[in-house]
Amino acid sequence: MANFLKEFKEFAVKGNVIDMAVGVIIGAAFGKIVTSLVNDIIMPAIGVLTGGANFADQKVLIKGVEGATDAVYITWGNTVQTILDFIIIALCIFVAIKFINKLKREKPVEEAAPAGPSQEQLLTEIRDLLAKDIASKK
């Protein structure tokens, strides 16, 4: 059990876990901002364009009132708002990650290769050594 607690402590204090926790908190706050943007700005504008329709109230009747049972509706307006929330959040995250990757992607400085003999010079040197070796054996 002590080993388990030790491993958990090592895991919990690693930078990755703390970074992830900060990301979750910022993500939750960002989600609220996007939800407000969609609900308070985008959807009312779309409502005006569609003749004053409020998307949150949009629904389709699938079963009418019969006796003591209430009507059953599919409320698709909230789904449209949630999909818009998702698209905006995904777009913002994509742009942020693209920007961060652009900052990280610095072009590596290419060091000049040390100037060495050319292939032709090496072959000439090998030929001369072979010729010298053959001449010395005679």
CA distance 45 to 55: 11
Encoded tokens for 13? 């204090």
State the pLDDT confidence band at 20, using cuts at 50, 70 and 90.
Answer: confident
State the pLDDT confidence band at 108, using cuts at 50, 70 and 90.
Answer: low
Return phi, psi of residue 105, to 5°. -80, 65
Provide, rounded to the nearest whole percent, the portion of the chain with pLDDT above 90. Answer: 1
Mean pLDDT taken over the chain? 81
Read off the pLDDT of each residue in 112-126 and give the average, rounded to a whole number: 82
Q: Which residues have a Cβ under 8 Å from the Cβ of 117 and sit 6 or more positions away?
A: 125
pTM of the model: 0.50
Q: What is the pLDDT of residue 15?
A: 64
